[in-house]
A = this chain, B = another copy of it.
């Protein structure tokens, strides 16, 4: 099968299209023909050699977000059958091999694709949506009436987090450039803050939960503590809890939690329901053919995309 393989760490140019052996489904696994594969920051970080433990062995096929069609089921699989349209974030944070024509993974890591979406849009969802969902629901336990601050709200995870927080009944405060504010309000943001024009901590009142999708590079994490009420929670997604964040949080009586997403087909099923009901939509910035994975990484790393980048995988 065709796949984009990573044979050495480096810039986008190390992503090369080649042929590798098609995987075989083990017992309990399904073989899925990938129609589209989402691109995420963890992809280019791993490509650059900044991958987390377990992602440093080469060669490697990147890609965790997949939408496709079940081609074959392994022994003992009873809940999926060939022809079923599915989407998933299999294996994360172990290699899943999404930038390829086929992937195999345990059947219970797959959920039914939202029927109202094509494969490109569906492939934009899993990692970003599960990150937002598991951070807001499972980690922060957001409930109706809470105030939730989402940093980088216009990004892949952020725009889904805004919608989920709204769905949970929270009051949503979103930071983003001014040009994204109208769109974020459409998605459900109650307050929008242009972080390039003013300090967010001076622009809003106390919040219960901060979903920090930016991290510590510009002190966003530490500054977030100052807007969080005592007993509230800062969920630090990209880099974990820095010593500076831990210190500030402890001094203020605020909790701070590192967070990393895991496969979760039950949540994907719930999310598919929200999409089908029109309560959640996903923004795809651009779809490129699998062969242009390097270009997708270049664009993603430029940090100037609004929605998600997706690779389309066409058979040939």
Contacts and interface: CB of A to CB of B under 8 A. Distances in A.
Interface of A is mostly: loop
Given A76-B240, A139-B78, A240-B75, A106 B53 contact: no
A260 interface: yes
A89 to B, nearest CB: 12
Interface stretch (A157-165, A262-270, A289-297, A305-313): A262-270
A93 B27 contact: yes
A93 B78 CA distance: 15
Contacts of A92: 28
B26 A258 contact: no
Given A75-B240, A76-B240, A138-B79, A28 B262 contact: yes
A122 to B, nearest CB: 22
Contacts of A16: none
Contacts of A261: 28, 76
Nearest to A93: B27
A27 B266 contact: no
Nearest to A76: B260
Contacts of A77: 260
A108 interface: yes
Nearest to A106: B262
Interface in A253-278: 257-264, 266
B264 A93 contact: no
Contacts of A78: 134, 138-139, 235, 257-259
9 contacts: A26-B93, A27-B52, A53-B75, A75-B240, A75-B258, A75-B260, A78-B138, A79-B138, A106-B263
User: Ordered nearest first, which 5 A-B pairs have the shortest CB separation?
Assistant: A76-B260, A78-B139, A26-B54, A108-B262, A28-B262
